[in-house]
Structure 1
């Protein structure tokens, strides 16, 4: 029941046919392109990262010289967030950690590499390509490798990824052009305890709701009780899974026991020939 002093979030609900996750046993770039072009909510590829690859990446992550505890959050990460900061800060942080990030990603049969290679092969058929986002000759962080281990109702509170692409402190950063298309997220699970399901609501919040909660440029977070009444789905996540979904929808991670470690990045078209990624 929504509190009398806390009105429900308002925004766009999508058709029920759209609001579903497809599940595949082998990686295929075609459904990823469907997500990027707004034809489906999300897709998960089950067990496509071999155990030896997961173990190698996980060990590299926990032993990385770039491993950092995120201030105020129950998580560790290697990489840089663009979220809620000036663009110069993000690019400077990226420059300091990029070698540490690649030290985790550069393994034999790396999912980060084959995902990009296979997406580029598919995009090239349409005269398009995938690359890191850029600004003034500098590039976005290749990926963010992070581990969550928070219990409670949500390990990661309900939020959406559209608002953060509007931050005026990042004016000129080409990811802001993604807003003309779809803002999507990719996660590659290399370590997983229990719980930690992906939770999504059939809701793309509007600007009025963002202003009401004071999250116009962060999208974080929406009080769970304000989401009552919206259709929601949960997706079980297991080690070896790779999944891509539309980040305009409010989403969260539910209670997690043990480490939920993943390679993550955002992605989207900035024009009809270019998909960029950032963190």
Structure 2
């Protein structure tokens, strides 16, 4: 009698990543929102002077904290990771003055990008707004640097699981039915390493369960990823990366000069055909 053996090799999902120099466009962002491309890497997207000032503001921020959720790093702002809505939005409200102080009076690329995208989506009958609840609303970004010192500075993970399990009292989980985009603005980068590694794999609920990361998407084991091809984005201060957070991604080890790998980050995606939510 013949038996059929089911392969446990993770499914390969092709990457469609664009890399170029210049300014990021709202048309590219909307294309990523619709799942037409996996990611963008825009080199020299904003000025080194702006990056230097934000980096200095981060270092002296009174809101600078160590993460205590199992993901090693420092941050200013709030993260919804492993939090219910009440906790996350309360932390967002508390952190807002510190986030505002990071950007100061700069003509920074993030707020400009948010406003431009909001105008373009409005022209298409789509609202873009910060995620909110009765407890408050999200900030436009958070700033963080990862401090993992093993095989990865940030272990391989996906961003969808944490959105799916954001809680019944939160408006975010519906976004996980669509493309969850992660937007990173690189403020400071080490001399070597700190690359953004993206694997050609978009895990399913079954895949997450096999790795024990159903509710967090973090971390996937090296053995699980061994046979999956990947692409590294080599980043510098002033670059922007926009990726589909449903694909597994992580950060390679960093070394060289004393500069930290510091970035501004947020997430966004369609909650309804006429609504895009933005959060951290």
2:105 to 104, 107, 119: 107
The counterpart of 1:48, out of the listed 45, 55, 68, is: 45
CA contact (8 A) 1:149 1:256 kept: no
Counterpart residue number, 1:230: 228
Q: Which residue of 2 aligns with 1:31?
A: 28
1:73, CA displacement in angstroms? 4.6
Spell out, residue by residue over 1:221-241, the C-alpha distance to the aligned partner (whole angstroms, 9 max, x if none): 100121122221110011001
Moved more, 204-213 or 38-47: 204-213
CA distance in 2, matches of 1:249, 1:197: 16
Mapped to 2, the partners of 1:217 and 1:275 lie a distance apart of 23
- In 1, distance between residues paired with 2:232 and 2:106? 32
TM-score by structure 1 length? 0.90
Deviations 1:18-56 (A, max 9, x none): 533333422211111111110000012211221221111
Deviates more, 1:60-69 or 1:124-133: 124-133
**Partner Cα distance (2:21, 2:170) in 1:** 34
Equivalent runs, 1:92-131 vs 2, <5 Å = 92-131=90-129
Aligned pairs for 1:129-148 within 5 A:
129-136=127-134, 138-148=136-146
Across the two proteins, how many residue pairs are aligned to each other? 269
The 10-residue stretch of structure 1 (182-191 or 207-216) with the greater mean CA deviation from structure 2: 207-216
Aligned-residue Cα RMSD (Å) equals: 1.8
Shift >3 Å, 4+ stretches: 7-11, 149-152
Q: Mean Cα displacement is larger for which, 68-77 or 124-133?
A: 68-77
Pairwise CA distance, 1:243: 1.3
TM-score when normalising by structure 2: 0.90
Three-state SS of the structure 1 residue aligned to 2:153 is strand
Instruction: Verify the 8 A CA contact 1:105 1:112 in the aligned structure 2.
Output: no
